Amino acid sequence: MIELEFFHIIAGAVVLALPAITLAVSHQVRKRSCKRRSSSKSSMLFNSKGKKCEMIAHKGAALDGPENTIGAIHKAASNGFDGVEIDIQLTSDKVAVLFHDDTVDRTTDGTGNVRDFTLQQISQLNAAAKFDGTAVYAKRDWPNSETVPVLADAVDVAISHDLFVFFDIKDTHQQTLKQLLDQFKRYPQLYSRSVICAFDFRFLYKVKRIDPNIAVVPIYSKFSCHALEGCSSLSFLLWLLPWTVVQICLYILFYYVNPLCLDHDVVSVDHRLISDGFLRWADQWRKEVVVWTVNDDQKKFEFIKHKRLSVITDSHSIRTN
């Protein structure tokens, strides 16, 4: 009981102190923002021909082909996407593969955690087994079986199609970083044609510390109570304060600390965060904004044509009138 009370006292003190910390950090932001706004660095989301990376295929265009597969990347290129977003996880033998979920159940004919499969075992699964062929604007079949690709093979295909690559890091193990760095050694053009994205900002700082020339992108979402769903009354109370602390800390990091300390030019955010206030913040810090995951054609048109943002979407379709 004493330990529990002590825990709540410490957590409560941290929560009470956070507003003061926020004010102090924001004061420093205001002092340095004028210097930051004077930066003339050009956007990396434009290619050498002046074409902006507006449409990014989410998980390799997950509604147009089996997500995070070589076939989906080919489909994204043939559909006219400017870039492709792929999710990176590690197998049990620490090989980087393309996979979004923690388990293989939703998309393959297997069951179990990705991290429990060796490369050989996961390569035997059919990554197209659960693909139903339903796209936003068409119904189509997927005739072929697809394997779970390794990172290197996916990069080969993306580079061959001149697609901008968004590496979404799900597993922040040191081996993930090592294998990503290997890809930059193989393809130096990735320095100008890719970004490394993560919800875990610590991983992005580690990337920058090892190779400052790699572009990193913090991913941020609206506050969600999903982690607290299903909790009993007691466990809810036990988790509420630390959850609140984490959420507020992430907010401070994204809006105040990262712009000062993490050298990044792009942010990736939940499309529900987009408001006039957020866009003013992005303009103040000269941040390019990528929004996810936008599958409504009218919203795509608004974000791309009216707000001049890039969108991550599951299918290449857009209303133009």
For residue 36, the model assigns a pLDDT of 44
Helix (H, G, I), strand (E, B) or coil at 193: helix
Distance, CA of 49 to CA of 18 (rounded, Å): 46
For residue 139, the model assigns a pLDDT of 44
Topology of domain 2-99+149-313 in CATH is TIM Barrel (3.20.20)
Neighbours of 300 (CB within 10 A): 24
Torsion angle, alpha carbons of 39, 40, 46, 47, to 10: -120
Size of the chain, expressed as the number of residues it contains = 321
Both tokens of 75, joined, read 């489909």
Measuring CA to CA, how many Å separate 42 from each of 24, 207, 218, 223, 255? 30, 21, 19, 31, 21
- Give the model confidence (pLDDT) of 273-291 as tens digits: 999 999 999 999 999 999 9
β-bridge mates for residue 58, sequence order: 85
For residue 147, the model assigns a pLDDT of 97
Distance, CA of 127 to CA of 40 (rounded, Å): 44
For residue 10, the model assigns a pLDDT of 46
For residue 41, the model assigns a pLDDT of 47
Distance, CA of 88 to CA of 136 (rounded, Å): 25
Q: What are the sequence ranges of the domains in the chain?
A: 2-99+149-313
Please give the model's pTM, rounded to 2 decimal places.
0.85
Per-residue pLDDT in tens (0 to 9) along the chain, 321 residues:
444 444 444 445 444 455 555 545 554 554 454 444 434 345 689 876 778 999 999 998 899 899 999 999 999 999 999 999 999 999 999 999 999 999 999 999 999 999 999 999 999 999 999 998 654 444 456 778 999 999 999 999 999 999 999 999 999 999 999 999 999 999 999 999 999 999 999 999 999 999 999 999 999 997 765 555 655 555 656 666 777 888 889 999 999 999 999 999 999 999 999 999 999 999 999 999 999 999 999 999 999 999 999 999 999 877 544
